Amino acid sequence: MFKRLRADIRAAKLNDPAARSKFEIWLTYSGVHALAWHRFAYFLHKIKLRLCARAVSQMAKFFTGIEIHPAAKIAGGVFIDHGEGVVIGETAEIEEGVVIYQGVTLGGTGKQTGKRHPTVKKGAMISAGAKILGGFTVGEYAKIGAGAVVLKEVPPYATVVGVPGNVVRINGEKVQNLEQEKRDPIHEEICSLREKVFSLEKMIEDLKKDKEEK
């Protein structure tokens, strides 16, 4: 537990340019406090003291504004910056080096059983207000943009933005994906109407020919 606490403090020092000392981080950072409480709640959950584990997690939520289910698996060296409004679900898994900003949800999409919360791989960054919903994987060093709603797998080194979230870059290079290109509904409607006009004109011509032949 203490080894992971030290790793969390190091991660905060590495990722927050405002951090002046490890002692300040340990004393004042709510993200570090929430993770420390979670380590204890996770231990209680593993030894089948489920009610006590939930009580600890709710106490941590009261003091830090961060809600982490006791069963969530979180490696050492994760940094939750500011953290207010962060929610991490029961079957979520977070690897080392992940950075999570305020308002992030690692949640599910309904009342499914089994693996229903995301797995966030090493070094990923999840920006403020992003919602990642489902039991899929967010790849290594992926970046999720602020306010994005992610509903499907994210490749390693990808950048995802939008609602719903779309991959716009991989390894810093733009992704050319026809499904993600902006559509022009007015243009599509005009094309559809034009096709109907052509079809009607052909029908009229055929009727005229039939009438002349008779």
The CATH number of the domain holding residue 26 is 2.160.10.10
Token pair in block for residue 211: 């009438």
Residue 84 to residues 26, 61, 81, 152, 169, Cα–Cα distance (Å): 17, 9, 9, 25, 28
Domain that holds residue 31: 2-179
Q: Are residues 188 and 104 in the same domain?
A: no
Q: Which residue has the higher pLDDT, 171 or 86?
A: 86
The pLDDT value given to residue 53: 93
Amino acid at 202: K
On the question of pLDDT at 209 being above 60, the answer is yes
Q: Are residues 6 and 51 in the same domain?
A: yes
The gap between the terminal CA atoms of the chain, to the nearest Å, is 95
Share of the chain above pLDDT 70, in %: 93
Q: Are residues 133 and 89 in the same domain?
A: yes
The pLDDT value given to residue 214: 63
Q: Are residues 200 and 132 in the same domain?
A: no
When pLDDT is cut at 50, 70 and 90, the band that residue 206 belongs to is confident
Q: Are residues 31 and 57 in the same domain?
A: yes
Q: Are residues 205 and 171 in the same domain?
A: no
Q: Are residues 103 and 194 in the same domain?
A: no
Q: Give mean pLDDT, residues 65-88.
A: 91
pLDDT digits (tens, 9 = 90+) for 141-165: 999 999 999 998 999 999 999 888 8
On the question of pLDDT at 205 being above 80, the answer is yes
pLDDT digits (tens, 9 = 90+) for 160-190: 998 888 888 888 777 765 454 455 667 677 8
Q: Are residues 47 and 96 in the same domain?
A: yes
Q: Are 81 and 65 in contact (CB under 8 A)?
A: no
The pLDDT value given to residue 141: 94
On the question of pLDDT at 35 being above 90, the answer is yes
